[in-house]
Amino acid sequence: MACNDKFVMVLETKRNPSIWKHFDLCLMTDNHEMARGKGCGKFMKAAANSTLKLHIDRHCPVTKAKNEKGEGSKTVSSNV
């Protein structure tokens, strides 16, 4: 990955919302687009939805933490 590109702005995207709710589509100085994880802030290629989905499912430390809390937790409060 090129490390010399810098973040310019967040773009709107109409791509798959189940994936992109976890990412911002970012315009970089090189005029290309990158996906940035909303939770973890990691940049990755925006073109590959499969890569992004894999990141959410497997690699993202933020969603991972949420999943681990959600599964089999004994500290779920019932005062909702």
Kindly determine how many residues on this chain lie close enough to bind Zn ion according to the rule CB under 5 A: 3
Q: How far is the CB of 77 from Zn ion (least distance, A)?
A: 26
Cβ distance 13 to 25 under 8 Å? yes
Q: Which of 19, 25, 27, 40 binds Zn ion (CB under 5 A)?
A: 40
- Per CB under 5 A, 60 contacts Zn ion: yes
28 or 37: whose CB is closer to Zn ion? 37
What is the distance between the alpha carbons of residues 8 and 75, in angstroms, rounded to a whole number? Answer: 41
Cβ distance 12 to 31 under 8 Å? no
Q: Provide the binding-site residues for Zn ion, judged by CB under 5 A.
A: 37, 40, 60
